[in-house]
Amino acid sequence: MSERRYFGTDGIRGRVGEPPITPDFVLKLGWAAGRVLGGGRGARVLIGKDTRISGYMFESALEAGLVAAGADVLLVGPLPTPAVAFLTRSLRASAGIVISASHNPHPDNGIKFFSGEGEKLPDSVEAAIEAALEQALSCQPSHALGRARRISDAATRYVEHCKATVPPDFALFGLRIVVDAAHGAGYQVAPRVFTELGAEVEAIGVSPDGLNINEGCGALHPQALIERVRASGADLGIALDGDGDRLQVVDGDGSLLDGDDVLFILARAWKESGRLRGPVVGTLMSNLGLERALAELGIPFERAAVGDRYVHERLKATGGVLGGETSGHILCLDRATTGDAIVAALQLLQVMRERDEPLRALRSGLRKVPQVTLSLPVEAPRRLAREPHVQAAVAALERELAGLGRVLLRASGTEPKLRITVECEDELRARRLAERLAEAVGSPPV
């Protein structure tokens, strides 16, 4: 992807009050998006958000900018990112906008877009919006201004969509589930979906105050869910991140399943049922053990660049329906257009019900290779990753592993950090090699 001034791998993100995450910029971003997405006719744009206190401010700014450009606005309030993708398509909007910094803490926020098909915007459209931002802001005449209204039943529409991704006779009666919504966008709809399907649900992380999103809870901090599952004797636990597109699962014994575990379970079950099409698509971060386990099952596996948008692009290109990231973004493209934690959890529960087996049994056959990841705070991660001395250090480690492991160095698309990942059969060796590469980069790991 070409370098951009504002857009990263998942929209525009940063610290609230610091450029570009300021009210004036977001107002102009709404105006620029309205001009580009409307195509000269006037767009219809849906806006959702997570529970950050700054979401109110940016919702108003986007609304003002879009209306000034002549676009109509549909406001749905706090809902998961995949809900905005679904509603954009369902309500025939030109585009959808999510105000969220996903798994980041509350001082951060961001803006990400969906096309009218409920998919991430193509690079070309993001580039056109950036170009429009360089123009002087103008306002349509009064008669051509857009209008704004709230969609009062948005949450119910999304809940019904989630339930429709499993068979009509599918039910969760007899299951006790702990749901951790990270005090985020799924705090209302996530417990409701599983309750309406018959599960006995204990909900945690469902008391957002504008400041506690992702704080010691949710998919980023699953220890709270692990402890609650163990203490309550629940059959399993489900954790979302702040914007509801990332999933982590806890088995009844308290063991944690990440995105690689979920992909393996679904891929094997879908292959046997005939539902699987095309390759399973992971990322450069997907565990080598997943690739090996799928190969043993005769399931093709491909790697995309890190970021669910790139997994989506590869699935579309290959005709695949299942892909995702170790972090928990799971894409089931025969059920949803983007990564959706609730939808993915339902597909997993469907496999559990059909096989009448606990999760620990369903993931037997997957042996992960030890993987160590360090994050280095740096000012220009993309440029630093290309420095000759850094590339030489990576090449030296790859020669040392001699094909028996992997080294990955990548710039984060959402934070000013450089990620170092080393994978090999010996975890202590992997850590030593990762730390050696961190020293070569010249910044202490965090």
Active site amino acids? 102
In whole angstroms, give the CA distance from residue 240 to residue 244. Answer: 5
The angle subtended at Cα 181 by Cα 330 and Cα 217, nearest 5°, is 100
Give the C-alpha distances (Å, rounded to integers) separating 245 from 35, 226, 248, 327.
28, 20, 10, 10
Q: Cβ(236)–Cβ(363) under 8 Å?
A: no
Question: Residue 357: helix, strand or coil by DSSP?
Answer: coil
Q: Return the sign of the alpha-carbon dihedral for residues 349, 350, 351, 352.
A: positive
Helices (H), 301-362: 308-318, 341-355, 359-362
Helices (H), 274-340: 288-296, 308-318
In whole angstroms, give the CA distance from residue 150 to residue 132. Answer: 27
Q: Cβ(30)–Cβ(58) under 8 Å?
A: no
Phi and psi based region of residue 145 (left: phi greater than 0; alpha: psi -120 to 50; beta: remaining): beta
Give the C-alpha distances (Å, rounded to integers) separating 130 from 8, 61, 113, 126.
12, 17, 13, 6
Q: How many residues comprise the chain?
A: 446
Q: What are phi and psi of 374, to 5 degrees?
A: -115, 145
Q: Which two tokens stand for residue 98?
A: 């999510």
